[in-house]
């Protein structure tokens, strides 16, 4: 008889607390109040950064990243516009922010409070079953919790702190690894879907010359903080760099020595380098040249998502991981193979919506990885309307007692 290992029984214990609550979609609580990386709201009643950068008091229509102050200015502006479109006379006075990273979500929250002067609370969650249950409260009312189920305690505490949680409350929810694919519980499936998108793109561009093992090796090496000057921690840049290395028009060793000697300063310099290599390599494929030209054009326009082709494939592979498992699947099977909705986030968002709060999904995810493309994926629905299983713990008894 096999002896059960300690880690296996821990694994069982961890998963046994989660349940499958059936199928749903993010739009149940956020409707079309969704804003992705391009800062163009899906609900067209509100203009995006391209047309409203002046009203947002930004210097230009260049898209800021989530941790930048200009991003917070845009987010506060969207919040007030949503309140106007909702026909709410009560001005927004409270902000609740749910996310999974202190660096991005925590900073966006802190900057929004700074810009607006609102009262606020932020929850940064992750599932860390190997740790004792704990929360830490950081400056600015940021709660860092190691169980998503602690959202229940958090909202009880907010009530005690005098939060109204009503029509004057804006609730901002991050999507990746927060509302979908909970960090520490289900987030690996999101990463796997992205990688599948990368590999499909590489197959299409490089054909039978694509060497996946070498690609993975380069990707794991260059995905480290040591190379952030080159990659800017941008997944599009990284995928493009690894694709170029895969064609062997330059080697990893060559690139690393350029970075180490500080002669390769940033990604723009890398694409200029590729440009000169392509000129002396007439054998490089047309598909590669096409991708290269498209990436150059996007980078010059200040677009933070220049590798569109990869992101459109990422969208398709992400959608293939939404609601793909049968209803009879176990919770373990769901969490391993499907991008699920975080049940605690879902229950809390529905409860807050019921109380009249405005709910906005605000995500740094590229639009191209979140919405169908007219030619590439015309039959798919947008991500926030994709139906998938809800998995987690039940916090409704606590909510009902408030």
Closest by CA to 158, choosing from 123, 127, 131, is 123
User: 125 to 184, contacts with Mg ion by CB under 5 A?
Assistant: 174, 176-177
Beta carbon of residue 232, minimum distance to Mg ion (angstroms, whole number): 18
Beta carbon of residue 173, minimum distance to Mg ion (angstroms, whole number): 10
Interface region with Mg ion, contact rule CB under 5 A, candidates 94-102, 200-208, 262-270, 392-400: 94-102
DSSP state of 376: T
| Nearer to Mg ion among residue 174 and residue 344 (C-beta) | 174
Contacts of 396 (CB under 8 A, 6+ apart): 347, 351
Beta carbon of residue 361, minimum distance to Mg ion (angstroms, whole number): 11
Interface region with Mg ion, contact rule CB under 5 A, candidates 100-108, 162-170, 197-205, 280-288: 100-108
Beta carbon of residue 272, minimum distance to Mg ion (angstroms, whole number): 32
**Rounded CA gap, 139 and 55, in Å?**
30
Whether the CB-CB separation of 77 and 52 falls below 8 Å is answered with yes
| Nearer to Mg ion among residue 81 and residue 176 (C-beta) | 176
| Nearer to Mg ion among residue 11 and residue 191 (C-beta) | 191
Contacts of 223 (CB under 8 A, 6+ apart): 231, 238
Residue 334 token pair: 């769901």
H/E run at residue 343: helix 343-354
H/E run at residue 153: helix 151-160
C-alpha of 273 from chain center: 31
Residue 301 token pair: 């326009």
| Nearer to Mg ion among residue 177 and residue 308 (C-beta) | 177
Residue 188 token pair: 């690996």
Q: Exactly one of 100, 127, 344, 367 binds Mg ion (CB under 5 A); which one?
A: 100
Beta carbon of residue 112, minimum distance to Mg ion (angstroms, whole number): 16
367 makes contact with Mg ion (CB under 5 A)? no
> How many residues at the interface with Mg ion, by CB under 5 A?
4
Beta carbon of residue 122, minimum distance to Mg ion (angstroms, whole number): 13
- Give the alpha-carbon dihedral of 10, 11, 12, 15, to 10 degrees: 120
Residue 392 token pair: 């987690």
Beta carbon of residue 148, minimum distance to Mg ion (angstroms, whole number): 13
Interface region with Mg ion, contact rule CB under 5 A, candidates 83-91, 95-103, 233-241, 300-308: 95-103
Residues that bind Mg ion (CB under 5 A): 100, 174, 176-177
């Amino acid at each position: 008889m096999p002896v059960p290992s300690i880690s296996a029984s821990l694994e069982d214990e961890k998963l046994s607390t989660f349940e499958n609550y059936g199928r749903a979609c993010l739009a149940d609580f956020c409707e079309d109040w969704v804003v992705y990386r391009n800062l163009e709201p899906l609900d067209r009643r509100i203009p995006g950064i391209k047309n409203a950068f002046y009203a947002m008091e930004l210097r230009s229509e260049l898209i800021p990243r989530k941790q930048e102050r200009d991003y917070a200015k845009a987010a506060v502006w969207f919040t007030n516009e949503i309140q106007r479109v909702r026909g709410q006379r009560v001005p927004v006075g409270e902000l609740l922010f749910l996310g999974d990273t202190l660096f991005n979500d925590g900073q966006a929250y802190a900057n929004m409070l700074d810009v607006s002067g609102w009262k606020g609370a932020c929850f940064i969650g992750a599932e860390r079953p190997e740790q004792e249950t704990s929360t830490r409260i950081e400056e600015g009312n940021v709660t860092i919790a190691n169980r998503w189920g602690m959202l229940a305690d958090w909202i009880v505490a907010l009530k005690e702190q005098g939060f109204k949680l009503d029509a004057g409350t804006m609730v901002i929810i991050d999507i990746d690894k927060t509302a979908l694919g909970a960090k520490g519980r289900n987030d690996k499936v999101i990463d796997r879907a992205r990688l599948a998108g990368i590999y499909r793109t590489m197959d299409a561009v490089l054909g039978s010359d694509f060497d996946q093992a070498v690609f993975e090796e380069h990707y794991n090496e260059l995905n480290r903080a040591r190379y952030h000057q080159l990659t800017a921690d941008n997944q599009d840049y990284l995928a493009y760099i690894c694709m170029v290395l895969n064609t062997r028009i330059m080697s990893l060793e060559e690139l690393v020595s350029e970075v180490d000697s500080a002669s390769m300063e940033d990604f723009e310099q890398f694409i200029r380098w590729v440009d000169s290599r392509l000129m002396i390599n007439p054998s490089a494929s047309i598909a590669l040249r096409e991708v290269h030209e498209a990436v150059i054009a996007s980078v010059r326009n200040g677009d933070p998502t220049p590798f569109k082709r990869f992101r459109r494939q990422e969208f398709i592979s992400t959608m293939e991981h939404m609601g793909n498992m049968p209803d009879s699947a176990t919770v373990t099977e769901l969490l391993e193979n499907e991008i699920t909705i975080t049940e605690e986030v879902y229950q809390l968002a529905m409860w807050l919506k019921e109380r009249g709060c405005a709910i906005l999904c605000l995500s740094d995810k590229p639009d191209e990885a979140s919405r169908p493309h007219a030619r590439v994926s015309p039959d798919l629905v947008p991500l926030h309307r994709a139906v998938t299983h809800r998995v987690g713990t039940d916090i409704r008894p606590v909510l009902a007692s408030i």
